[in-house]
Amino acid sequence: MVPGMPCPCDIPAQGSGCHNCYHEVIDAAVPAVLSIPDFSIKPAYRPGVRHVEAAMNKTPHSTASTPRPALKGLILMTGIALVLFGGYAVSHWLSSRDDVTWYPPDQACNLHRQSCSARLGDRGRVALKVDTGGRIEAREPLPLEVDVKDLDAREATVDFIGRDMDMGRHRFTLEAGTSGHFSGQGHVNACTREVMPWRARVILNTPDGRIGSWFDFDVARS
């Protein structure tokens, strides 16, 4: 029987040899079924991809996570600047705490030429004299004298501050002399302005707390 030809059993006029036909058809079909190719999907081959992925997986740390020396220096300098600024802010806050009861001066007074005084409510009176011989100069020693009347002052200090510009605080503690008299020396800094407005503040330490008054004056640039 020739493979591919119709079996005699399929032809009505023929009825012989059918068993041989089926055996021949099965014998020819089995090898064909066994030789069916594998059509399952497999990943395409990509040259070098496995090597790249393996190298990336083996890298212990990314280079981006390691700060560069310049970045480390910038972080360090920023930290130092923050610490310095914080220290300055705390120092300024501590030095600017105003626990003084202030009393305004009675009237305008020329501190260059005379002693200026102020009444401290009903507690007494304070006077300040800058004995320069007629003119207060920047960066020159300023002899200071404070006199207190009708008041128990245990300590007297004088500080100089800029009236409309932050020039820092120059505070000078005076030495106690005879009853109610204090003396010492101070100074004011130079400024680029032609005329720098200053304020002299007298602070007295008493058993009832700290009280004080102030006197304004101007210093011309020499």
Q: What secondary structure letter does DSSP report for 65? A: G
Determine the pLDDT at residue 29.
Answer: 46
Domain regions of the chain by residue span: 1-38, 100-220
Q: Return mean pLDDT, the chain.
A: 76
**Residues 97-133: tens digit of each pLDDT:** 469 999 999 888 999 999 999 999 999 999 999 999 8
- Residue with the larger pLDDT of the pair 29 and 98: 98
Q: Which of 147, 117, 136, 109 is nearest to 219 (CA)?
A: 136
Instruction: Compute φ and ψ for 155, nearest 5 degrees.
Output: -155, 145
Closest CA to 174 of 151, 150, 144: 144
The pLDDT value recorded for residue 33 is 45
What are residue 50's DSSP bridge partners? Answer: none
Distances (CA, A) of 217 to 111, 128, 131, 136, 160: 6, 12, 14, 9, 10
CA trace torsion 32, 35, 41, 44 (10° rounding): -130
**pTM higher than the cut 0.85:** no
**Band of residue 9 on the pLDDT scale cut at 50, 70, 90:** very low
Helix (H, G, I), strand (E, B) or coil at 19: helix
CATH 2.60.40.10 is held by the domain 100-220: yes
